[in-house]
Amino acid sequence: MKRGIVPAIIFTLVCTTVMAAEREIEMKGRQLISQKPSFSMNLPAELRLIHSFTVEHPDESSMTRAYFFIKEKAKQVEQMVIVQIADKTNPMAGPMTVPPLKSDTDKRLYLKSSQKKGRVDVDYLIQLIVWNPEASSLQPISKKGVIVPSHLALQGQLLFGYGGEHAILIRYSRDVNSFGMKVSGRVDAHAWNKESMSGNAKKVYETFREEFTGVVDSLTVKGP
């Protein structure tokens, strides 16, 4: 009997090899290009691939590929893109189902919307997060001599399915201190709450919103 697959978008790090990542997904200037599934988008800056890995999910008839791209300054991450692609591995299984995007907290969820790209529905959101350098998935970055600071970061998430064979989650985040404006570094600061955002925090958010919605607008999906 065929059954649907919920892709394992949230994962635990189990492999740390950079395989043939450059052939599967690459950066050309500011353009991010994926070969399978076939899509591309323009990012706000040129980033470099620093780490990738694959996790098998035999119980779900799928596997997840993850790619980490960064832009750094003085050996410290300022911008980061994580691309996660879930692939169906059992052709007899039903089509992949894509779960809805969920924010960490409503107070710091600033935008949630969707777009249609051909036959593909794309969900996206913007929220405030805190980078966690202790996260197991980020340890390989630190081991390569690049610091992931435990700073506040604005994060845009973008999620879409691809012909029932793939699910794609892209997370672009940027250190709030990288915009050239003085802002609070406290996640519970009043200035970062959705209903009371003001001053430099609001300017930083508006800049990031323009950047990330530009990423969403630039997304081109070939097929399925």
* Tens digits of residue pLDDT in 165-184: 899 999 999 999 999 999 98
| Domain containing residue 174: CATH number | 3.40.1000.10
DSSP symbols for 88-103: E--TTSPPB--PPP--
Residues of the domain holding 104 = 21-218
Task: Looking at 68-191, list the stretches that DSSP marks H as alpha helix, in order from N- to C-terminal side.
Answer: 139-143
Domain-embedded: residue 32? yes
- Token duo for residue 196: 């009371």
Give the type of residue at 204: V
Task: Looking at 97-198, list the stretches that DSSP marks H as alpha helix, in order from N- to C-terminal side.
Answer: 139-143
CA 94 and chain centroid, separation: 26
Tell whether the model's pLDDT for residue 18 goes beyond 60. Answer: no
Quick: pLDDT tens for 84-103.
999 988 888 888 888 889 88
3-class DSSP assignment, residue 214: helix
pTM check: above 0.75? yes
What is the layout of strands, in order, in the sheet containing 220-221? 25-28, 31-34, 39-42, 220-221
Tell whether the model's pLDDT for residue 220 goes beyond 50. Answer: yes
- Count structural domains, the chain: 1
Quick: pLDDT tens for 52-68.
998 988 877 788 999 99
Tell whether the model's pLDDT for residue 51 goes beyond 90. Answer: yes
- pLDDT of 89 reads 83
3-class DSSP assignment, residue 163: coil
The answer to whether 147 touches 75, Cβ cutoff 8 Å, is yes
Helix and strand numbers (H, E) in the chain are 3, 11
Q: What percent of the chain has pLDDT over 70?
A: 89
- pLDDT of 99 reads 85
Burial 2-12 (b: 16+ CB within 10 A, else e): eeebebbbebe
Domain-embedded: residue 185? yes
Domain-embedded: residue 49? yes
Domain-embedded: residue 149? yes
Domain-embedded: residue 6? no
Domain-embedded: residue 224? no
- pLDDT of 93 reads 82
Structure confidence at residue 16 as a pLDDT band (50, 70, 90): very low
> Which phi and psi angles does 143 have, rounded to 5°?
-70, -20
Does residue 197 or residue 13 have the better pLDDT?
197
Domain-embedded: residue 99? yes
- Token duo for residue 102: 């969920």
> Which phi and psi angles does 82 have, rounded to 5°?
-115, 120
Domain-embedded: residue 172? yes
Structure confidence at residue 105 as a pLDDT band (50, 70, 90): confident
User: What one-character DSSP code corresponds to residue 44?
Assistant: S
The answer to whether 120 touches 221, Cβ cutoff 8 Å, is yes
